[in-house]
């Protein structure tokens, strides 16, 4: 096995070289990336060579040149088997993404009517993902059968660049990443609501000040803590510190608690909509509005040309834009 010291030159963003970069060097690196990815997936130099229409020695030279360029060992070789080293595993994921993006960029430039394909890694909030996105993705994948979707549901705010997501679905008040491209799909309304049984037992609050003494169901991820910010029409915003009898970082759990009559909740309509439609929850102080939050799609600028990202954005705009189905209640 070759021993490496610090490499003389490095790949910049996967393809670029250091000073003196030229077309031939660029093409050599691209050939090395392609050979490496094919060998990693085939777990064999011979099989990869057959699939690429090259000799085994040609493929081997390209991978060795790539390893020499990086100053690392990417593949562990034995007489019968080839496997990725830990460094090779990490580099494989990046190299595969680079080659996919390059193919997608070429396809997008050559024809906007080409069939989108490739891997689409999506991050989304848990509740929106389980209640709405999962069924939407089933329709999306039926429409685009050559796109392979990897969906990760997580309520924390992930960094799509460092964590390798093609696109991130967000429900938030403001844009917090100016380095990302953002498409706002629709405003996600939030309403005060409670069950009819709760209102029958405790009475309907007439002012937001009354909420301070009422049992309330509080979302634990709000930056404002136990304070709810509300506005009536064009009047200045009013804040009230609520009596949080239940604090939870999952709004579906708060909705269920509200249905059970445990208190007043401030919920997005994409979660409370079905219960508001059936009357299991009713709006409280409907003249007051919480600051708007927006359903948005964010992705790194280098994903902009990827056809699989562009068709997903258009699909989400058609599916959830304008007046979403969860707001259809009286």
241 and 93 both lie in a single domain = no
For residue 124, is it within any domain? yes
In a domain, 286, yes or no: yes
Residue 273: pLDDT over 50: yes
**159/298 same-domain check:** yes
Cβ–Cβ < 8 Å for 99, 35: no
Range of 61's domain? 23-110
Q: Report pLDDT for 13.
A: 42
Helices (H), the chain: 23-42, 45-52, 56-70, 86-110, 126-128, 134-143, 196-202, 251-259, 269-278, 307-320
d(CA 307, CA 329): 36
- What is the C-alpha to C-alpha distance for residues 168 and 166, in angstroms, rounded to an integer? 7
Q: Which of 65, 87, 110 is the last residue of a domain?
A: 110
**183 and 302 fall within a common domain:** yes
CATH number of the domain where residue 105 is located: 1.10.10.10
| 11 lies in some domain | no
* pLDDT for 18: 45
Percent of the chain topping pLDDT 90: 42
pLDDT at 2: 53
Mind listing the pLDDT tens digit for each residue in 233-259? 888 888 889 888 888 888 899 999 999
Dump pLDDT digits (tens) for 202-220.
999 998 899 998 999 988 7
Looking at the structure, tell me whether residues 285 and 298 fall in a common domain. Answer: no
Q: Is residue 4 part of a domain?
A: no
Contacts of 197 (CB under 8 A, 6+ apart): 261
Please give the C-alpha separations between residue 137 and each of 71, 86, 148, 150, in angstroms, as whole numbers. 41, 33, 11, 10
Percent with pLDDT over 70 in the chain: 85
Range with the poorest average pLDDT among 20-24, 65-69, 141-145: 20-24
Given 55, 75, 110, the domain boundary residue is 110
The segment with the largest mean pLDDT, out of 17-21, 32-36, 99-103, is 32-36
Domain boundary residue among 110, 135, 155?
110
Q: Is residue 180 part of a domain?
A: yes
Is 10 a member of any domain?
A: no
Please check whether residues 301 and 183 belong to one and the same domain: yes
Same domain, 203 and 284: yes
| Residues whose CB is less than 8 angstroms from the CB of residue 122 and which lie 6 or more positions away in sequence, other chains included | 137, 149, 150, 151, 152, 165, 166, 167, 168, 169, 312
**Looking at the predicted structure, is the pLDDT value of residue 133 above 80?**
yes
**Are residues 88 and 165 part of one domain?**
no
Confidence at 14, pLDDT banded by 50, 70, 90 = very low
For 95-123, the DSSP string reads: HHHHHHHHHHHHHHHH-TTSPP-EEEEEE
- Closest by CA to 4, choosing from 60, 78, 91, 87, is 87
| DSSP per-residue letters across 150-197 | EEEE-SS---TTTTT-SEEEEEESS---TTSEEEEEEEE-EEEEE-HH
What is the number of domains present in the chain?
3
Whether residue 41 is found in the same domain as residue 81:
yes
Nearest CA among 102, 101, 25 for reference residue 66: 25
The two tokens of residue 103 are 């193919």
**Residue 62 counted as domain residue:** yes
**Same domain, residue pair 261 and 300:** no
Task: Give the CATH number, domain containing residue 255.
Answer: 3.40.190.290
| 40 and 156 share one domain | no
- Domain identity same for 196 and 244: yes
User: Does 220 share its domain with 306?
Assistant: no
Query: Closest by alpha carbon to 312, among 171, 162, 189, 185?
Result: 185
CATH of the domain at 129: 3.40.190.10
Predicted confidence band of residue 6 (pLDDT cuts 50, 70, 90): very low
Please give the Cα distance from 72 to 75 (Å, whole number).
9
Residue 99 lies in a domain: yes
Q: How far apart are CA 136 and CA 169, in angstroms?
A: 13
User: Which has more confidence, 259 or 293?
Assistant: 259
Instruction: Give the Cα separation of 281 and 144 in Å (integer).
Output: 37
């Amino acid at each position: 096995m070759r021993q490496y010291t610090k490499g003389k030159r490095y790949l910049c963003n996967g393809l670029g070289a250091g000073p003196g970069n030229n077309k031939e060097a660029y093409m050599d690196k691209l050939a090395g990336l392609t050979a490496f990815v094919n060998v990693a997936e085939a777990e064999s130099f011979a099989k990869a060579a057959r699939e690429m229409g090259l000799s085994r020695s040609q493929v081997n030279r390209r991978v060795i040149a790539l390893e020499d360029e990086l100053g690392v060992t990417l593949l562990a070789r034995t007489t019968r088997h080839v496997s990725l080293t830990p460094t090779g595993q990490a580099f494989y994921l990046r190299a595969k993404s680079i080659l996919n993006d390059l193919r997608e960029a070429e396809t997008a430039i050559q024809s906007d009517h080409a069939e989108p394909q490739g891997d689409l890694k999506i991050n989304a909030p848990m509740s929106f993902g389980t209640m709405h996105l999962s069924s939407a993705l089933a329709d999306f994948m039926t429409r685009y059968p050559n796109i392979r979707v990897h969906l990760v549901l997580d309520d924390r705010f992930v960094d799509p660049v460092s964590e390798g997501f093609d696109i991130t679905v967000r429900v938030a008040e403001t844009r917090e990443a100016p380095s990302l491209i953002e498409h706002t799909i629709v405003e996600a309304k939030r309403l005060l609501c409670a069950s009819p049984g709760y209102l029958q037992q405790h009475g309907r609050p007439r002012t937001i000040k009354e909420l301070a003494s009422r049992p309330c169901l509080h979302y634990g991820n709000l930056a404002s803590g136990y304070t709810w910010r509300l506005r009536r029409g064009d009047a200045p915003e009013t804040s009230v510190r609520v009596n949080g009898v239940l604090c939870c970082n999952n709004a579906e759990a708060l909705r269920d608690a509200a249905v059970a009559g445990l208190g007043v909740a401030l919920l997005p309509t994409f979660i409370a909509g079905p219960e508001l439609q059936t009357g299991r929850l009713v709006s409280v102080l409907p003249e007051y509005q919480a600051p708007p939050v927006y359903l948005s799609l964010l992705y790194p600028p280098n994903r902009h040309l990827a056809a699989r990202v562009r068709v997903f954005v258009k699909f989400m705009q058609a599916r959830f834009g304008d007046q979403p189905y969860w707001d259809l209640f009286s």
